[in-house]
Amino acid sequence: MSDTIERIKQQISENPILLYMKGSPKLPQCGFSSQASQAVMACGERFAFVDILQNPDIRAELPKYANWPTFPQLWINGELIGGCDIIVEMYQKGELKPLIEEAAKAAAQDS
């Protein structure tokens, strides 16, 4: 298995809420990443992110590992939640916030 896949697995396992995106939440580099990070930020919990533009190896390998072709990708508790459309839709339906709050609460109890 490649070092990149190992790094992706480690990032996903170490961060209960992880957003792979283009740019950063404060300075997103594409509209989809902007919408996704805004929805996650609106849930009010701290989350990790990886800027795939700074990590071309992850950008190349993650779609194969996740079996999901596009970015952004939101991972919660080691599970791929989905991309921009799914994230925004879940946020609008009120499904994203409890999921994120639960992951943050569980992480706080573990530490």
48 strand-pairing partners: 18
Contact (CB, 8 A) for 23 and 53 = yes
Binding residues: 22, 30, 59, 71, 84-85
Preceding amide of 72 cis, omega within 30: yes
Query: In this predicted model, what pLDDT tens digit does every residue of 39-57 receive, in sequence order?
Result: 999 999 999 999 999 999 9
53 strand-pairing partners: none
Task: Answer yes or no: CATH 3.40.30.10 is held by domain 3-102.
Answer: yes
Query: In this predicted model, what pLDDT tens digit does every residue of 58-84 receive, in sequence order?
Result: 999 999 999 999 999 999 999 999 999
How many Cβ atoms from other residues are within 10 Å of residue 111's Cβ?
5
Binding residues for glutathione: 22, 59, 71, 84-85
User: What span, in angstroms and rounded, lies between the C-alpha atoms of 105 and 60?
Assistant: 32
Contact (CB, 8 A) for 57 and 104 = no
Q: What SS3 class is residue 23?
A: strand
pTM of the model: 0.96
Q: What is the pLDDT of residue 110?
A: 78
Binding residues for [2Fe-2S] cluster: 30
Mean pLDDT of the region 22-44:
98
CA dihedral 64, 10, 25, 53 (to 10 degrees): -50
- DSSP H/E element including 33: helix 31-41
Number of helices followed by number of strands (H, E) in the chain: 5, 4
Mean pLDDT of the region 86-94:
98
